[in-house]
Amino acid sequence: MGRIRLSLFLLAGLMALLSGCGERQTGANRPGLIILGDRMTVYSGAPLSGYLQDQGEALVNGERLALRDSHGMAGEWTIALGSLNSVQGSMNLPSEGQVASNARIAIQDATAVAYIGDYGSDSTQISLPLTNQGGILQVSTESGYSGLTSSRYAQPGEPERFYPSGRRTFARLAPNDQREASAQARLQRSRGCGETFAIVAPGSVGNSIRLELAAALATEKVGSGGTAVYDGSPAALREASSRAKASGADCVYYGAAGDATGAALLNRLIAADRSVKLFAGRASSTLQMTENLSASAQDALLVTTPAPSSSDLTAFGKSVARRYRAV
């Protein structure tokens, strides 16, 4: 439900912004392009099949609800929603080629003014330079990679490489990974962690999470028990679980893919040591992860997520949830 609320508020906010873009007679402006007529299009890139289908459909359903609430209008403009699947064919996860294709579809549409996506930071690193060059606003509900907006804990040349036009055209709704690392460190300290062993994904996002978590743990006076890179392969599973056990750390943070391979690793860790405390970030809040966790791993695991719990919702938030279920 958290992703639904984020996507609904995102599209509602975009429509309020678009209502001030211009009048029918003069059109709306994109760099080098004037949108004539009375229609604008907002595109949405999300995984609508494969392992992340439930999350992607929740995002799109929230967007459709926001569009319905506004009667498909922003001021005098008619707003169309173009929903694009970031998963190609029978694949289970978004692919670089499909994400890039989606972004090109958006920028080649003369009525397009905004792109909601992508679901994950790896995908947004592909789509953002394209939408930026095309002069389209891009907003993501999930992409927490700090390098998209900051040079801290980023790769060389970031974030500038994501903005070839020289203009900043991206925003995220959820806190970035640095903020989540701080929340994780405070949570781990409150749970009495002495040392934490971190398991992250390969690539720039995983490396950034590793650095951000290490800094946050040091601030909270929680020791570092080491790190391992996990790509989901059987060999990596054996190595990560062996290194975590050998570290002697009483806590383990999991920051790699939130799928069955992640569940397999956490199941192995808790089976080897029932006293270990397990923690994970937002990527692990998926059905593919939780449905494959053992009962012991579920009991031991605490996950941080940017979405508020149902008990924290305002009256408006509860109204959104009711209306979403009625769609």
Question: pLDDT at position 224, please?
Answer: 94
* CATH code, 2-174+314-326: 3.40.50.2300
Side-chain half-sphere of 149: how many Cα atoms within 13 Å? Answer: 18
**Nearest 10 degrees: Cα torsion 247, 253, 258, 264:** 40
With contact defined as beta carbons under 8 Å apart, do 297 and 267 qualify? yes
Question: pLDDT at position 1, please?
Answer: 44
Question: pLDDT at position 32, please?
Answer: 58
Question: pLDDT at position 317, please?
Answer: 78
Question: pLDDT at position 141, please?
Answer: 87
Which residues of the chain fall below pLDDT 70? 1-34, 325-327
* Amino acid identity at 236: A
Element (H, E) at 113: strand 112-116
Question: pLDDT at position 55, please?
Answer: 86
| Residue intervals in the chain for CATH 3.40.50.2300 | 2-174+314-326, 177-303
CATH of region 177-303, choose from 3.10.580.10, 3.40.190.80, 3.20.20.80, 3.40.50.2300? 3.40.50.2300
Give me 287's structure tokens. Answer: 């059905």
Angle (CA) 74 75 78, round 5°: 50
Question: pLDDT at position 15, please?
Answer: 52
